[in-house]
Structures are given as structure tokens and as C-alpha cells.
Amino acid sequence: MADKLTAVKGMNDIAPPQSANWEWLEDKLRTLMQRYCYRNLRTPIVEPTALFVRGLGEVTDIVEKEMYSFEDRLNGEQLTLRPENTAGVVRAALEHSLLYDGPKRLYYMGPMFRHERPQRGRYRQFHQFGAEALGFAGPDVDAELIVMASDLWAELGLQGIELEINSLGQPAERLAHRQALIAYLEAHAEQLDEDAKRRLHSNPLRILDTKNPAMQDLVNEAPRLMDHLGAESLAHFERLKALLDAHGIGYRINPRLVRGMDYYNLTVFEFVTTQLGSQGTVCAGGRYDGLFEQIGGKASPAVGWALGMERILELLKEQGLLPEAPAPDAYAVVPDVAAVPQVMPVLRGLRQRGVQVLMHAAGAEGMGSMKSQFKKADGSGARFALIFGEQELAQGAVAVKPLRGDRGGSEQAICPLADLEAIAARLLSR
């Protein structure tokens, strides 16, 4: 016997009934995007490696350690499974001139890939839903995206999600802060861990995001980027705060919030929770006005966010907010296999009228007993059983039997097959 094959570690199958939760959440997200007039964009899973090296930053953790990159055997092209999708969205916008007639509001969803140690809320194949507003420069769209995410939490009923915001200013301001930060860290070199020493001159801002408890006091006393912001950057941030205040959205200013990609400027934000352990960020984003130029296009302002689908679903589960497993409206009980050719067109007609019908399927020994069929009908969660017995079919009818207490107990009705509209209305009644 051949060895049993299993999924790649950290890349998980999503099977029923869990997949129904994904579909439910995806529907909620699509509806939210429609309300805000964001339109769907679908990009490839595989992109040129250079897109992420140039877009995310050569010395970021993602590029240095986490990307699944390979060489195309046919033409030698360097390719990468996308670790995030903002760079891909910008690449697509440039390639197809999406902004030629004005700014665009877009959204995407799909799998991303990072070679990390699998743990709760962090997988090697994970799924993101993202919203990107391209061509908008003002803080009003920054606020719109934050408000949109807040509306989602309210729609889902999620509690305990807090908003943290910061401003990273503009490149010249970050450069001044970078120089001050390097000087400060060099003066305290003996307190730096190996990762911080490695980053000191290549990406010192990321040292502020360290999770090493021994370095927290050092980081807390480090020069703050906010102290290096100019008047325009500060005005952008103040306007954002005023807009959030106008919406009644609470927030905490976190001066150490820097995000993991180099393309951010001005506004950055995270929605965080304490209910998922170390993987507490459920949605994050910010402004990335320089990314279009970084990957070879004309400068254009942009802002967006992405949320982790697995983390949102885990939080919904933690708070008992996931919907009940889907169940059919009706289960078709067919005592005699000879009746199947007559029954199946009826079921098709009901399905065409919006009824979810599950038909009992014949096994090697026929349809099985009525008792076993009713047991399966009850186990399916269906609200009704459709009984296509010999007597009912002889009358050109079907027996409709409620299976749940809220449907009138065990009382059943005989319904003529000639009136599928009436049968469908009964089965769809709530």
C-alpha cells in the first residue's frame, strides 16, 4: 500500500460544516463592500518575486524569511506565492491603467502564503480580505476605511476589538527619525538582542516592534517618530482623529505602531483583540502613497486594510457568534426505488423555486427502510420531510411532514404535485 498523503503542514483543508462559516462571512464582507461601493479585483496567486522585494522592502521579515519563492523551470523567471496582496493590487492597477478615469475603490479576497511556524491564527496558507482605495490623498478616505471595518465588527456582533492608530509621516521625516533612532540605539548597544543588532542599520524602525520583553524599556524610551513630523503630516493625522471622533469611534494612539511592510506612510492602524493570544491583530492597514513609484509607476496616493479570515472566524467562535450549521429545507423520503424517476423532476421543480431539497439516495440494496430514511432526514436538520409513498404518488400528491417543533409538531399535510408553487411556499415558510 502506498504511503498516505496529507496536506502540507500549515496549509489546511476547509471542509463542511466549517466551510459554511467561511461562505457566511464572505457574504457579509461582500455586502459591506457593496454598501461602500468598493468593487472586486482578482489577482494571480503567483507574482514576480521582484514585486515583493521592491514593494515590501528587501530587509523586511516577509522578504528575508517568509516568502515561498522559486524559479520557473521553463524560463528561469523568479516567482513567488503572494505573501500579501496590496503590492499585487497596485501592480494590476498600473498594468491595466485602472486609474486612467479617476480613483478606484477595490476589494479582494483569497489565499496568501508565508513560511511561518503554524500556530493558532497563523498558518502557512492563510486567507485575507482586503479593501484598497487608490488615488485618494485625503484623510477622509483613511477614516472611511476605518469606519468600514468598525461597521463590520458591529454587523458581526464582535466585542472587545480595539483600534490603535499612528502616523509614520513622510519619507524625509522618517529619515530624520531614523537617524535619531540609530544614534539612540547605538548608545545602548549592550541592551540589543541579536535581531535588533542585525536590523540596526538596515531597518531600525522594525526594532520598535520587538516582542522581546527584555527590550521593552529601551524601546519605550526611544525617540518618537511623532516628534519629527512636520506641519502637513500632523494636520493629516489631526484631521483623521477628528473624523473618527465625529463617528464616535474610540482609538488609542500607539506611537510604536509601525507595521511590517516598508511601503507605509502617514496613517497606519490596527484593530486588535486580547482574545486570540499572541495573534491579536485581526485587521490592519494604512496609507502607502509611495508604492506606485516603488514598483515602477506614476506616483499615486493610496490607502487600504486587510483582515485575516481565520482570525475573524476564530474570534467569532470564541464569542459564540458563528451561525448554526446550514440545513436543507426538506428531505425527500422515497420508499420505492422505482418511484425515483417520478420524484426527481418534482424535486428539481422545487429547487428551481428556491427550496433546498436533499433526496435520499439508493444504496446497493435499494432505498432502505422508512425508519432508516426518517432517521437520516432528522439527522440532516431538515425542517420538513417530503414523503413520496405509493399511496401519495397514486393520488398525484406528496405528504409534507414537519420535523421540527416550531413547524407544528408531527402534523402533516397532503399536497398536490400539480401545485409546486404552494408546496414551495409551505417549505420556505418561517
Average pLDDT over residues 90-118: 95
Confidence tier at 407 by pLDDT (50, 70, 90): very low
The residues, ordered by sequence, that sit 6+ positions from 280 with a Cβ below 8 Å of its Cβ are 272, 273, 274
Q: What is the pLDDT of residues 353-384, one digit of tens each?
A: 999 999 988 776 778 888 999 999 999 999 99
Whether 204 is covered by a domain: the verdict is no
Specify which of 91-105, 173-187, 249-263 reaches the highest per-range mean pLDDT. 91-105
Confidence tier at 122 by pLDDT (50, 70, 90): confident
> What is the rounded distance in angstroms from the CA atom of residue 260 to the CA atom of residue 254?
15
With contact defined as beta carbons under 8 Å apart, do 151 and 32 qualify?
A: yes
pLDDT at 364: 67
Whether 421 is covered by a domain: the verdict is yes
Is residue 111 located within the same domain as residue 81? Answer: yes
Whether 95 is covered by a domain: the verdict is yes
Is residue 391 located within the same domain as residue 259? Answer: no
pTM: 0.89
Is residue 254 located within the same domain as residue 341? Answer: no
Q: What is the pLDDT of residues 309-333, one digit of tens each?
A: 999 999 999 999 999 989 999 999 9
Whether 395 is covered by a domain: the verdict is yes
Whether 340 is covered by a domain: the verdict is yes
Whether 70 is covered by a domain: the verdict is yes
Query: Where do the H-state alpha helices sit in 248-389?
Result: 291-294, 309-318, 340-352, 370-379
Is residue 141 located within the same domain as residue 236? Answer: yes
Is residue 424 located within the same domain as residue 339? Answer: yes
Query: Residue 279: which CATH number?
Result: 3.30.930.10
295, 318, 341 - which closes a domain: 318
Is residue 250 located within the same domain as residue 371? Answer: no
Q: Pick the residue with more confidence: 145 or 179?
A: 145
pLDDT at 387: 95
Whether 302 is covered by a domain: the verdict is yes
Is residue 353 located within the same domain as residue 254? Answer: no
> What is the rounded distance in angstroms from the CA atom of residue 267 to the CA atom of residue 265?
6
277, 292, 318 - which closes a domain: 318
pLDDT at 109: 97
Whether 152 is covered by a domain: the verdict is yes
Residue ranges making up the domain that contains 150: 18-169+229-318
Is residue 355 located within the same domain as residue 417? Answer: yes
> What is the rounded distance in angstroms from the CA atom of residue 129 to the CA atom of residue 138?
23
Q: Pick the residue with more confidence: 189 or 242?
A: 242
> What is the rounded distance in angstroms from the CA atom of residue 292 to the CA atom of residue 22?
32
Q: What is the pLDDT of residues 43-68, one digit of tens each?
A: 999 999 999 988 887 767 788 788 99
- The domain tally of the chain equals 2
Confidence tier at 235 by pLDDT (50, 70, 90): very high
Is residue 37 located within the same domain as residue 138? Answer: yes
Residue 284 has pLDDT above 50, yes or no: yes
Is residue 248 located within the same domain as residue 311? Answer: yes
User: Which DSSP string do the residues of 193-253 spell out, in sequence order?
Assistant: -HHHHHHTTT-GGGGGG---GGGHHHHHTSPPGGGG--HHHHHHHHHHHHHHHHTT---EE
pLDDT at 408: 45
pLDDT at 406: 55
pLDDT at 260: 65
296, 318, 340 - which closes a domain: 318
Query: Residue 365: which CATH number?
Result: 3.40.50.800
Is residue 422 located within the same domain as residue 310? Answer: no
> What is the rounded distance in angstroms from the CA atom of residue 390 to the CA atom of residue 334?
9
Is residue 367 located within the same domain as residue 287? Answer: no
Q: Which amino acid is at 142?
A: D
